[in-house]
Structure 1
């Protein structure tokens, strides 16, 4: 990989790590540059502004998120098993209340949606992509019983995703996994499956 891409990727990786803990507004470029050991001039070579950096960081996050979902598609032929593994991994990562594993949508969306229209649009595009993939899984005929025949896959995917985002937010507030446990029970009931 060229040095140009190495430095850009390094800035994004370091920035994501810091923003997961502190949020977008509370972190200045100086803190990111110091942690990345990159001079200020180099930052502006890759990103015209902090907002552009934020957009690139979120785009990178959603690309990696979709890659994770794609891996699940190769690991599980049955959409029901795949869905339950997806929700179970969400339960484990968000239930730990660890900054390193925090969902970037939960951590940053409310904050930046009011501050930056370009970043809000990246969030919208990214979350729409996640919901579409979940809807595809719910609509796959390979695994009977993943969704009741009278349920619309897109609506169910949206409802489930919203529920899990809300449960993740409550987990941050409560500092326990009770909301995520309830989300898992509701998901199992809706899909007519047992937990892993």
Structure 2
């Protein structure tokens, strides 16, 4: 008889919880469900987390760390132009979304919709994560601007934030439509139309 290995490591529980929340949503993922999936005794959850809110903060931190690790080879590849690296970072996220049959989406957007009005700590953590994403993109966009790949009069921080906001909206639409088409349109409009042809503007 095969027995499941018990998980006693906090990081393992965070990863299992992250996967569950991405699939089911935060409020629909009960502590009992996490404990069962992790195969740990009832009540052990609170040995690691003082509350479910603290658990939410932990899965956000894990998600951001995973995304930073995912993005690093893309954004650090100096053989590719800065604007192309921005494009490739979004295309990587879209590919992951397609691999999950247009489900799950982005934890930051999902929790933003579900939790921002109910937990100030979670809202602030999400805002910090999105600000970090914005900072990373704006750095690449500034390089693109210095190379005259995008217009000099663009506010790169505002552009970075708008890219993320537009991506999140397209992601939500793709989840509802069960099609990556809105995300592909996002790529097309920004990187094939809006941010090209500087000399014609």
Please report the TM-score for the alignment, with normalisation by the length of structure 1. Answer: 0.87
> Which 4+ runs in 1 deviate beyond 3 A?
95-101
Tell me the SS of whatever aligns to 1:140: helix
Q: Measure, in 1, the Cα distance between the counterparts of 2:131 and 2:46.
A: 30
Over 3 Å counting, the alpha-carbon distance change for 1:83 and 1:51 in structure 2 is same
Q: Measure, in 2, the Cα distance between the counterparts of 1:145 and 1:40.
A: 59
Please report the TM-score for the alignment, with normalisation by the length of structure 2. Answer: 0.85
Over 3 Å counting, the alpha-carbon distance change for 1:115 and 1:98 in structure 2 is farther
CA offset at residue 67 of structure 1? 2.6
Once superposed, what is the RMSD of the aligned Cα atoms?
Answer: 2.2
Q: Which runs of 5+ in 1 are unaligned?
A: none
Q: Is the 8 A contact 2:102 2:175 kept in 1?
A: no
Q: Which runs of 5+ in 2 are unaligned?
A: 1-6
When you count helix as a share of all residues, which structure comes out higher?
1
What CA deviation, in whole Å up to 9, does each residue of 1:33-69 have, x standing for no partner? 0100112343212100111111111111112222322
- Where does residue 54 of structure 2 map in the other structure? 52
* Paired residue total: 189
Q: Measure, in 2, the Cα distance between the counterparts of 1:141 and 1:20.
A: 33
- Where does residue 38 of structure 1 map in the other structure? 40
Rg larger for:
2
Q: Which of 78, 87, 92 in structure 2 is aligned with 1:89?
A: 92
Q: Which of 171, 174, 182 in structure 2 is aligned with 1:171?
A: 174
Q: Which of 192, 195, 199 in structure 2 is aligned with 1:191?
A: 195
Q: Measure, in 1, the Cα distance between the counterparts of 2:129 and 2:83.
A: 23
CA offset at residue 192 of structure 1? 1.2
